[in-house]
Amino acid sequence: MKKLMLIVMMFLICGCSNYNDISNIAVISLVAIDYDGNNYISYVKVLSSNSKNEENLYKEECPSLANCFERLNNKLTKRIYLTHMDLLVLSNNLNIDNYNEIINFFTNEETSRNSFNTVIVNKIDDAILNSDTNDINSMLDLSISTNLVAKKITLTDIIKDILNYKVSYIPYLEIDKEITVKGYKVIYDDNKVLTKGESIALNIIKNLEKNFTIMIDNKIYKLEECNTINKVNDNKVNINLNCKYEGNNKKESKIVEDYLKQIIENFIKNNNDNYFRYLMYKYKKENNYNIDYQINIKVNYQESIGGNIFE
Partner 1 sequence: MKEEILKLCGESCDIATRSIKVGLSNVDFIYSEALSSSDAIAKFILQPISDIIIDNVVGVSTKTIIENALTGASCKNVNTIDDAIQKIFLGYTIIIVDNKSMIAVETREQLDRGIESSSIEVAITGSKDAFTENFNKNLGLIRKRIRNNNLFVKEVKLGNESNTKIGICYMNNIAEESLVNKVIEKLKQINNDIIIDGGYITEELSKTTFFPQINQTERPDLASFALLEGKVCIILDNSPTVLIIPTFFIDFFHTPDDYYQKNINTTFIRILRFLAFIIAIFLPGYYISITTYNPTSIPTNLLLNLIEQHTTVPFPAFFEILIMIIAFEILRESDIRIPSKVGSSVSILGGLILGDAAVSAGIISPIMIIVVALSSISSLVFSYNSMVNLIRYYRYFVLILAIFFGIYGLFIGFGLLIINLSSITSFGYPYTYPFVPFVKEDILDSLIKVEKKEKKRNPLLAKKKNR
* Cα–Cα nearest to 117, from 170, 156, 154: 154
Per CB under 8 A, 310 contacts partner 1 = no
The Cα 232–Cα 276 span in angstroms is 8
* Cβ-based nearer residue to partner 1, 46 or 90: 46
Instruction: Give the type of residue at 48.
Output: S
Q: How far is the CB of 18 from partner 1 (least distance, A)?
A: 6
The DSSP code sequence of 138-197 is HHHHHIIIII------BHHHHHHHHHHHS-EEEEEEEESSSEEEEEEEEETTT--BPPHH
Q: Site for partner 1 (CB under 8 A): which residue of 1, 4, 5, 19?
A: 19
Binding track, positions 20-39, relative to partner 1; x by CB under 8 A: xxxx-x-x-x----------
Q: How far is the CB of 65 from partner 1 (least distance, A)?
A: 21
* Cβ-based nearer residue to partner 1, 87 or 297: 87
Pairing of strands 292-303, 236-247: parallel
DSSP state of 48: P
* Cβ-based nearer residue to partner 1, 29 or 274: 29
> Residues 19, 154, 159, CA angle at the centre, nearest 5°?
90
* Cβ-based nearer residue to partner 1, 47 or 186: 47
Q: Site for partner 1 (CB under 8 A): which residue of 35, 40, 69, 81?
A: 81
Q: Site for partner 1 (CB under 8 A): which residue of 2, 4, 51, 218?
A: 51
* Cβ-based nearer residue to partner 1, 19 or 307: 19
Helices and strands in the chain, H and E counts: 9, 12
Listed ranges 79-87, 194-202, 224-232, 246-254: which one lies at the site for partner 1 (CB under 8 A): 79-87
Per CB under 8 A, 50 contacts partner 1 = yes
C-alpha distance from residue 221 to each of 63, 148, 183, 184, 211 (Å): 49, 12, 19, 22, 11
Binding track, positions 90-119, relative to partner 1; x by CB under 8 A: ---------------------x-x------
The Cα 230–Cα 40 span in angstroms is 40
The count of chain residues that interact with partner 1, using the rule CB under 8 A, is 23
Note the residues at the interface with partner 1 (CB under 8 A). 11, 14-16, 18-23, 25, 27, 29, 47-51, 81, 83-84, 111, 113
